[in-house]
Structure 1
Amino acid sequence: MTKKFLLYSSPVMVLFLAVALFEPYIYLHFLTSPVIDKSLKKEHFDIIAHKGASGIAPENTMAAFRAAIEMGVDMIELDVRNTKDEEIVVFHDEFLDRTTNGTGAVHDYTLEEIRQLDAGSWFDPKFRDERVPTLKEVLDLINGRCKVLIEIKHMDHPHYHDFAEKLVDVIREEKNGYEWIILQSEEVEYIEAAHEYDDHVQTKKLMIGEDSAPLIAFYVETKMHLGRAKEDDRMKALNPEYHTLSTRRVFRMHARGFQVYTYSPNNREDMVKMLHMGVDGIITDYPQILIQIRKDIEAL
């Protein structure tokens, strides 16, 4: 009886697993509307500039942050690293090579050495004067004009042993910094260290890293962290990659008490689909597109 049951039920089980695995793909490509309609008028969403307005200026530079502020975004997302002399700079990669004319790991250079590098020409020669900024410089520029989402990159290096605490110290220096500056990380230990150091700091859990394989990572990260995050009332939001989402999954995260901020859809169609799925915010390289979508919704 058992063998027969397994034999006849196995195709159904395989089909169920396939549908579950590819659920986000099905929703994104077949089930979710790319059209703005009146149903979106009741949806509030945040416009979050990914590494600044990194679609029109070199990422994580003052030019990108100034552009995002001028557009009127709700929030700016940026990345931080530590230098050899343990100064916090705004930089995404572990290594300098992709977005500067330098080479090697960020933490192998002092701040003064990194300041000599060209951080803009790789994007466009007109940005050749852009330099890698410090976190303090960027926060002073923003000065509460929008919220800031600081992503802490994981590094197994002595310079990073008290990195979360150093970030909190920088936040404390900003006027009303607790209100408009938020820490996020894929690594729970950074978030926990920040709260142990100062429980006033706001945090988000980055559910899936930018370098993860989205479909696999969704299940792994959900099993490992979602339940744990729910036990911590301080953790209010999750940031899944947009290819991992479906309307049902967003609903489930909302039902567990989390806001959902997805990254990084960069065209109008995908942005509108994410809004139809019910996300609370979109992190994008092209915030100007999302700003226009908001205007189009308001005009209905």
Structure 2
Amino acid sequence: MKLTKVMGHRGAALLAPENTLASIRAAAATGVKWVEIDVHPIAQGGLIIFHDHTLERCTNGFGNTLEANLETMLSLDAGSWFGAEHDGEKVPTLEQAIDCIQALGLGLNLEIKYEDADVERVVPPILAVLSERWQDNDKLMISSFNYEALQICYREDKQRHLGYLVEDVPSDWLLKLAAIEAFSLNCYYAVLTKQQARAVKSAGYKLLCYTANEAHLVERHWDWGMDTIITDDPNQFMHLES
């Protein structure tokens, strides 16, 4: 799988309301070739593109995201909080997001956003949608902070490209990456050290860092071996792709 140096975060979260089709299109308009979005399970088996555990920040709804049903989610305004030009923007389903991303020719880093114990129930339906709708496995990464979710992905299909998401790099990172034949370690740029970065690269893994929105913040990270920056504003980094 070939990654580019720049990946849009939640589409392009500084350019349009995050995790919406508008945000994905805004990312594509910058010239970026990959986007990261969050898939979040909801009631009755629904799968939406959404980050938060509650609805208030990014919609005109309220309550726990996990408890919302699909009809409710699709009725919400997910854009007006960002700006009047996005009034009426909807929360997309996983299927809608996949179709949009593929139509734009983008690669997808799909983060599984789930922390509860019954992850065995949540992951297989996500993989089923991907198997049915996603066409090019070399343009797909599945990532998660939930290591068990990645273990299930690996068990179900060892050809998937898996990214283990962390904030601080844990002491057992190498064992965990090896156990799922991971593609990458995806970590928070501000707490990454040069020693950690070099170790990840020496072990043969890709290194993705989130979420820097100004180029000067990660100048040294490229020297350390960082492969890709995940950013809310791809425009700040597109000069690196030329």
Q: Could you tell me the TM-score, scaled by structure 1's length?
A: 0.75
Match of 1:222 among 170, 181, 200: 170
Q: Is the 8 A contact 1:261 1:279 kept in 2?
A: yes
What corresponds to 2:160 in structure 1? 201
* Distance of 1:232 and 1:161 partners within structure 2: 18
Shift, 1:277, TM fit: 2.8
Shift, 1:49, TM fit: 0.1
* Distance of 2:66 and 2:148 partners within structure 1: 20
What corresponds to 1:166 in structure 2? 125
What corresponds to 1:272 in structure 2? 219
- Segments of 5+ residues of structure 2 without an aligned counterpart are none
Q: Is the 8 A contact 2:5 2:241 kept in 1?
A: no
Q: Is the 8 A contact 1:52 1:67 kept in 2?
A: yes
Matched residue type, 2:112? I
What corresponds to 1:107 in structure 2? 66
Distance 1:69 1:85, change over 3 A: same
Q: Is the 8 A contact 2:187 2:209 kept in 1?
A: yes
Match of 2:10 among 48, 51, 57: 51
Q: Is the 8 A contact 1:99 1:119 kept in 2?
A: yes
Residues 76-225 of structure 1 aligned to structure 2 (within 5 Å): 76-143=35-102, 145-156=105-116, 160-208=119-167, 218=168, 221-223=169-171, 225=172
* Distance of 2:184 and 2:72 partners within structure 1: 37
Q: Is the 8 A contact 1:143 1:174 kept in 2?
A: no
What corresponds to 1:75 in structure 2? 34
* Distance of 1:73 and 1:131 partners within structure 2: 23
Deviation >3 Å, runs of 4+: none
Shift, 1:228, TM fit: 2.0
* Distance of 2:191 and 2:209 partners within structure 1: 9
Matched residue type, 2:72? E
What corresponds to 1:252 in structure 2? 199
* Distance of 1:123 and 1:232 partners within structure 2: 41
- Secondary structure of 1:192's counterpart equals helix
Matched residue type, 2:152? A
What corresponds to 2:184 in structure 1? 237
- Segments of 5+ residues of structure 1 without an aligned counterpart are 1-43, 209-217, 296-300
CA-based RMSD: 1.9
Q: Deviations over 1:230-277 (max 9, x none)?
A: 432621210110111233321111112211100011012114333233
Q: Deviations over 1:102-139 (max 9, x none)?
A: 01111211111111111011111110120100011011
* Distance of 2:80 and 2:133 partners within structure 1: 31
Q: Percent identity?
A: 28
Q: Deviations over 1:266-289 (max 9, x none)?
A: 012114333233200000001011
* Distance of 1:59 and 1:231 partners within structure 2: 32
- Secondary structure of 1:150's counterpart equals strand
Whose radius of gyration is greater, 1 or 2?
A: 1
What corresponds to 1:6 in structure 2? none
- Number of residue pairs matched? 239
- Secondary structure of 1:121's counterpart equals coil
